[in-house]
Chains A and B, each alone.
Chain A
Amino acid sequence: MSMWPFAKKNNSRDVAVKRLQTLVRTNGESQAQRNEHTTSFRLEKTNDDEINSIVNYIKDYAFRNLSVERDNVKVHISRDGEGVTIVANIIYK
């Protein structure tokens, strides 16, 4: 601890700003900036055809952008009411 009694107090804003950056989702990026590296895919219906098209989309995306074979992309679907959770595991060999 500093001998200067006011040093800690003067730093409180800097400490708060640092903690703030770890607390918030955005990390200071605007929504537009975040969308730049977010693949946008809107699910209109949750029938099997729509879900299958998304599974294929994820596998194609991994194949094209991550150089991963389609068989090495495991997509897990779980339904909860009208909600659908899609988790993709990408296996790098």
Chain B
Amino acid sequence: MEQAKVYVITSGKGGVGKTTISANIGSALAMRGYNVCLIDADIGLKNLDLVLGLENRIVYTILDVVKGQRSVTEALVKHKIMKNLNLLASSQIANKDMISPEDMVRIINELSKHFHYILIDSPAGIERGFKNAVVAAQHAIIVTTPDLTAISDADRVIGLLENNGYTDKNMSLIVNRIKPKMVQKNEMVSPEDIQSALAINLMGIVPDSEEIIISTNQGKPLALEDDKKMSTIFNNIAARISGDMIPVGEDLKNFKENSEGISGFFKRVFGGR
């Protein structure tokens, strides 16, 4: 197998949806037939296993690999349904200083032999955990929500990534929790506004959706559910990562219709989600 393509999903600000997006892009890539490894680099505050519904299957973590107690392949956990989706879980008892950037490079070099794609879920912030997450990746996906605090932090992270050798050729933006109706009414900055301000490529637009909350509650990635509108978006992003040219405008196509107000109410009652 060729060397894996390594992506880091990062943000600066916490709570913008990095973990959910990592899990769903990883699942969508796995559904396309690729061997995918997700790495939870949020040491001490692990969440990726929860979003994937694998929290009860974790035996070894990245810390066991760093300590040399287990090989990296032994520490991987396969997804219950998608057997080509693997997770290298984080440790809840460790802290970020217990793992160095050199450890991450070594782990990713080893994993690269076995997978098509490796996605690293970066912790929030710009400290050691961020450095660990970005050091071995070839491409950074910056996640932001449409509020100024998150955009400002995303801008700071882009600057730090540039200092680490990233350019606008290998950085992309995902705008999460967009409310299309508010954008239409000129009440919220649009994904294009954010892209224009941050000056990097827009890889995807993810609307605010109850489907995400439900899927996280169930530990069942959206890519597994074809009938969900949100799964189309993550499939589009996965397709773009794997080289397909799908315009970003396609992401919100199913969300343009009125989903709020009286007509939205009747649609929900009679049409289902």
**Which residues on A are within 8 Å of B, measured CB to CB?**
9-14, 16-17, 19-21, 23-26, 28-33
Contact = CB atoms under 8 A, between A and B. Distances in A.
B187 A28 contact: no
Given A20-B197, A30-B168, A32-B168, A25 B159 contact: yes
Interface stretch (B88-96, B148-156, B238-246, B254-262): B148-156
Given A28-B199, A30-B168, A10 B185 contact: yes
Contacts of B151: 20, 23-24
Nearest to A32: B168
Contacts, number: 60
B167 interface: yes
B56 interface: no
Nearest to A20: B197
A interface: dominant SS = helix
A9 B229 CA distance: 29
Interface of B: 148, 151-152, 155, 158-159, 162, 167-168, 183, 185-190, 193-194, 196-199
A16 B189 contact: yes
Contacts of A20: 148, 151, 189, 193-194, 197
A43 to B, nearest CB: 13
B187 A13 contact: yes
A16 B199 contact: no
B186 A10 contact: yes
A13 B190 contact: yes
B152 A23 contact: yes
Contact of B189 (A11, A13, A28): A13
Given A12-B187, A28-B196, 10 more contacts: A9-B187, A10-B187, A12-B186, A13-B186, A16-B189, A20-B193, A20-B194, A24-B155, A24-B198, A28-B199
Contacts of A32: 168
B126 to A, nearest CB: 14
Contact of A31 (B148, B167, B189, B196): B167
A30 B183 CA distance: 24
A20 B168 CA distance: 19
Given A13-B189, A13-B190, A19 B168 contact: no
Contacts of B193: 13, 16-17, 20
A12 B155 contact: no
Given A9-B187, A13-B189, A16-B148, A26 B167 contact: no
Given A20-B197, A24-B197, A28-B197, A13 B155 contact: no
Nearest to B167: A31
28 contacts: A10-B186, A10-B187, A12-B187, A12-B188, A13-B186, A13-B188, A13-B190, A13-B193, A14-B186, A16-B148, A16-B193, A17-B189, A20-B148, A20-B193, A21-B197, A23-B151, A23-B152, A23-B197, A24-B151, A24-B152, A24-B198, A25-B159, A28-B197, A28-B199, A29-B199, A31-B162, A31-B168, A31-B199
